[in-house]
């Protein structure tokens, strides 16, 4: 039935709402919820699903949220317009998250007292358990088909094209044809019941559109793995850790598809699941020292364990690529929640004076692009390169531009001295800066039978790799490493600036997965008369554009997903700007940052700072 405790006018929107499924982990709901999300995309309506799951296998709460936005806002918005409440454990918090005038869809088999509902929402009850128990006798079938039944009911309530869902079921169970008809039957059961017993459609509707275009839907971990493949990676050493494991697993699938010799069956790759994170980064460094392009994928706890080897690779100048799919820390933290909390740990990884190169992709397209670029940079700079994803980007599918690749592109192996150059008597000093960019030449093992050899060490050395503890030689080497780090600034992707339509004294700096929510928050703030220039940072060391952007604004909000303002700290430390000029906007509860949070925080801080958003026009 469709009911409310008092007369409520439900929200009326087409192709613009948030739907959230509250389920129990291990109930089989993920498959049904994913099917529902894909159906929205197939109808030509942009949608961004986010899976919020516990760090156990079964029994704890899990949520699946879909942002539907024909206008293209794909970040988390905040609030829920339609809650599909299938978990009694989380009932109260799920009900509390519904927008006034929003909709609650629940299993009404067991009557609930009026006190369990809100008076300002529309309540839609359907006896799902009763229907499944009547139709099925097997306990597992009852559990699984209950999910498909509610998808069928939602298709009627939202006025969806059910043929799209039926086609997806056929695709999902291709090769298991005997499962297709039972799932379609369950879908029809839910749809028929809703059309007969519920007021359909409700105020929220899904209507066919043409707003998806040629964009693809893929998760960031898969995109980064494909980037690694295109970037020439042949060695991956890793240890399983959420949320990065699927990156190594995707790379394995791609290698078996594209890196196996068709004639001989020989594998042109080596993928090793090491005994721990420390071993995995050691294998990567060893492979890279031998000339292979190698990487590891990990998360915060792994970054902590790898610190000593990061220092070795930095000081001995060995290429390596690290995909850090960040999660909430410290320690074990919240393994299945997202944050941007490894920025400082990676930027200054290891003891002593180290500075590492970081890249911050905003979406799967940049995960692919930077995933490939990282290997060129590692070889060119002879140092570890960190690609800083997070759980929100890594494990959730997003609409993104189709990947592109220039087939004429060749790997940049950097300064590698050849046997011919050595034979001709060219001076080889492993740590000798010959052209002022701080990057020395290297040789691969076995390049020449008598020349070009050197001892790789983590201790101090001179320009010709000879061991020394002489202070001037050590300082000379450390200064050269700093010069090389400054060279990296010219090789990284430049920050992207979005200027407001009118001059403004306010700016905002952000990075990574914050991007889609920031884009929407920017529009919300503009409607309130708060106009911002935006700068999305894509790499560290920071390009000169970052310093110039800060200098051009009275106040700059630094929006990030951690408690301590790690990017802000990095900006202050590296650019030596006035701390009062950089205003932190911090979100760190483990859920993706929302447009409402960003806009609310900036609006509040703007009022407190008493900054006039617009500069006076110069006559």
The domain made up of 496-609 is a member of CATH 3.40.50.920? yes
Per-residue pLDDT at 5 = 47
pLDDT at residue 545 in the model: 98
The yes-or-no verdict on residue 616 having pLDDT over 90 is no
Measure the CA angle with vertex 347, ends 342 and 352; round to 5°.
120
Over residues 278-285, mean pLDDT = 98
Tell me the mean pLDDT in the region 386-393: 98
* 605, 379 contact by CB (below 8 A): no
DSSP state of 458: S
pLDDT given at position 55: 80
Question: How many Å apart are CA 543 and CA 590, to the nearest integer?
Answer: 29
| Cis amide prior to 290 (ω within 30 degrees) | no
Average pLDDT estimate for 45-65 = 87
Q: What is the mean pLDDT of the chain?
A: 95
Helix (H) or strand (E) run with residue 381 in it:
helix 364-381
Same CATH topology for 2-205 and 218-400: the answer is: no
Q: Are 47 and 66 in contact (CB under 8 A)?
A: yes
CA dihedral sign of residues 168, 173, 177, 180: negative
Given CA atoms 66, 72, 75, 77 in this order, what sign does their dihedral have? negative
Confidence of residue 608 (pLDDT cuts 50, 70, 90): low
pLDDT at 504: 96
Task: Spell out the residues 6+ positions from residue 12 whose beta carbon is closer than 8 angstroms to its own.
Answer: 203, 204
pLDDT digits (tens, 9 = 90+) for 168-202: 999 999 888 888 999 999 999 999 999 999 999 99
Quickly state the pLDDT bin for 4 (edges 50, 70, 90): very low
Q: Which of 130, 589, 215 is nearest to 399 (CA)?
A: 215
Question: Does the pLDDT of residue 615 top 60, yes or no?
Answer: no
pLDDT at 209 over 90: yes
Per-residue model confidence (pLDDT) at position 618 = 38
Residue 609 has pLDDT above 70, yes or no: no
For residues 79 and 14, the answer to whether their CB atoms sit within 8 Å is: no
Q: How confident is the model at residue 252 (pLDDT cuts 50, 70, 90)?
A: very high
CA distance 487 to 437: 6
pLDDT of residue 28: 83
Tokens of 562: 């951690």
CATH architecture of 2-205: 3-Layer(aba) Sandwich (3.40)
Predicted confidence at residue 143, as pLDDT, reads 87
Give CATH for domain 218-400: 3.40.50.970
Cis ω for the linkage preceding 243 (within 30 of 0): yes
Give me the phi and psi of 511, to 5 degrees please.
-165, 160
d(CA 429, CA 424): 15
**Encoding tokens for residue 105?**
């869809």
Asked whether the bond before 89 is cis by omega within 30 degrees of 0, the reply is no
pLDDT at 614 over 70: no
Average pLDDT over residues 430-438: 96
pLDDT band at 322 (very low <50, low <70, confident <90, very high): very high
- Give the single-character DSSP code of 86: -
Cα 522 from Cα 520, distance rounded (Å): 5
Q: Between vectors from CA 592 to CA 589 and to CA 595, what angle results, nearest 5°?
A: 110
Across-strand partners of 63?
Answer: 22, 52
Share of the chain above pLDDT 70, in %: 97
- In the predicted model, is pLDDT for residue 7 greater than 80? no
Q: Is there a contact between 233 and 293 (Cβ–Cβ < 8 Å)?
A: yes
The residue-averaged pLDDT of 12-26 equals 95
What beta strand segments (E) does 342-441 contain?
Answer: 357-359, 384-390, 397-400
* Residues 151-155, mean pLDDT to the nearest whole number: 97
| φ and ψ of 79, to 5 deg | 80, 160
Residue 116 has pLDDT above 60, yes or no: yes
Domain ranges, ordered by start, for the chain: 2-205, 218-400, 496-609
pLDDT of residue 299: 98
- Per-residue pLDDT at 329: 95
Q: What does the alpha-carbon distance between residue 568 and residue 557 come to, in Å, rounded to a whole number?
A: 9
């Amino acid at each position: 039935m469709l009911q409310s405790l008092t007369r409520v006018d439900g929200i009326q929107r087409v192709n613009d709402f948030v739907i959230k499924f509250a389920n129990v982990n291990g109930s089989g709901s993920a498959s049904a919820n994913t099917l529902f999300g894909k159906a929205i995309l197939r109808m030509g309506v942009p949608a961004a699903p986010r899976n919020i799951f516990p760090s156990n296998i079964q029994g704890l709460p899990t949520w699946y949220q879909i942002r539907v936005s024909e206008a293209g806002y794909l970040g988390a918005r905040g609030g829920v317009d339609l809650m599909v409440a299938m978990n009694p454990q989380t009932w109260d918090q799920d009900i509390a998250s519904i927008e006034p005038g929003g909709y609650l869809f629940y299993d009404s088999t067991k009557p609930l007292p009026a006190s369990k509902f809100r008076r300002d929402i529309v309540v839609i009850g359907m006896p799902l358990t009763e229907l499944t128990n009547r139709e099925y006798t097997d306990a597992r079938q009852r559990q699984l088909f209950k999910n498909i039944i509610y998808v069928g009911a939602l298709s009627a309530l939202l006025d969806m094209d059910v043929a799209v869902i039926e086609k997806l079921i056929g695709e999902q169970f291709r090769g298991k044809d005997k499962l297709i008809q039972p799932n379609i039957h369950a879908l029809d059961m839910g749809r028929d019941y809703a059309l007969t017993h519920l007021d359909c459609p409700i105020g929220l509707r899904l209507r066919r559109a043409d707003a998806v275009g040629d964009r693809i839907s893929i998760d960031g971990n898969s995109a980064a793995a494909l980037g690694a493949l295109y970037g020439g990676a042949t060695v991956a050493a890793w240890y399983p850790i959420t949320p990065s494991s699927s990156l190594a697993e995707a790379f394995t699938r791609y290698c078996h598809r594209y890196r196996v010799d068709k004639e001989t069956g020989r594998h042109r790759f080596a993928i090793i699941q090491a005994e721990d994170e420390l071993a995995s980064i050691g294998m990567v460094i060893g492979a890279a020292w031998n000339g292979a392009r190698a990487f590891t994928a990990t998360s915060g706890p792994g970054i902590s364990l790898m610190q000593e080897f990061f220092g070795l690779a930095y000081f001995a100048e060995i290429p390596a690529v690290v995909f850090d799919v960040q999660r909430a820390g410290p320690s074990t933290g919240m393994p299945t929640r997202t944050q941007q909390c490894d920025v400082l740990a990676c930027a200054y990884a290891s003891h002593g004076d180290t500075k590492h190169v970081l890249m911050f992709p905003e979406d799967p397209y940049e995960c692919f692009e930077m995933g490939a670029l990282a290997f060129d940079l590692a070889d060119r700079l002879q140092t570890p390169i960190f690609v800083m994803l997070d759980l929100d980007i890594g494990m959730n599918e997003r609409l993104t531009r189709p990947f592109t690749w220039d087939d004429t592109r060749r790997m940049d192996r950097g300064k590698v001295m050849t046997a011919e150059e050595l034979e001709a008597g060219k001076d080889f000093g492993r740590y000798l800066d010959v052209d002022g960019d701080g990057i020395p030449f290297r040789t691969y093992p076995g390049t020449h039978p008598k020349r070009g050899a050197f001892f790789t060490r983590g201790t101090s050395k001179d320009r010709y790799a000879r061991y020394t503890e002489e202070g001037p030689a050590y300082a000379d080497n450390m200064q050269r490493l700093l010069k090389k780090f400054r060279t990296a600034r010219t090789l990284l992707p430049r920050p992207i600036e979005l200027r407001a339509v009118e001059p403004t004294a306010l700016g905002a700096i952000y990075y990574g997965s914050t991007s889609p929510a920031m884009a929407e928050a920017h529009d919300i703030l503009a409607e309130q008369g708060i106009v911002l220039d935006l700068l999305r940072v894509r790499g560290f060391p920071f390009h000169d554009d970052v310093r110039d952007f800060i200098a051009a604004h009275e106040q700059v909000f630094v929006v990030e997903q951690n408690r301590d303002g790690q990017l802000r700290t990095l900006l202050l430390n590296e650019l030596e700007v006035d701390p009062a000029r950089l205003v932190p906007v911090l979100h760190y509860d483990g859920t993706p940052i929302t447009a409402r949070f960003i806009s609310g925080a900036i609006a509040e801080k703007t009022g407190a700072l008493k900054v006039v958003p617009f500069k006076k026009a110069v006559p």
